[in-house]
């Protein structure tokens, strides 16, 4: 499961891959700011959660248990 803040000023989590596509780099859950703790819904896929002031992209996908946050990058493509 990955949560990505939509308005947080931590630009170190954003990067571009070799195809110049925007990616969000995962961080350990211990680095989550207060009020942004992870909550599991049990549904695979992406959803925007929160209120108008603190929205976040919530994504749950099955991953191998031996992976660590440094091994995971989420790439976002625009709708076409």
Q: Is the pLDDT of residue 18 over 60?
A: yes
User: Higher pLDDT residue, 63 or 69?
Assistant: 63
Q: What is the pLDDT of residue 72?
A: 74
pLDDT confidence tier of residue 10, bands split at 50, 70 and 90: low
Q: What is the pTM of this model?
A: 0.40
Q: In this predicted structure, what is the pLDDT of residue 80?
A: 46
Percentage, residues of the chain above pLDDT 90: 0
Give the residues across from 16 on adjacent strands: 22
For the chain, the average pLDDT equals: 71
């Amino acid at each position: 499961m990955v949560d990505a803040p939509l308005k947080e000023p931590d630009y170190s989590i954003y990067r571009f891959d070799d195809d110049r596509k925007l990616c969000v780099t995962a961080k350990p859950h211990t680095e989550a700011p207060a009020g942004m703790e992870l909550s599991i819904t049990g549904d695979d896929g992406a959803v925007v959660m929160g209120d108008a002031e603190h929205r976040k992209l919530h994504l749950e996908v099955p991953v191998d248990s031996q992976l660590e946050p440094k091994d995971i990058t989420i790439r976002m493509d625009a709708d076409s």
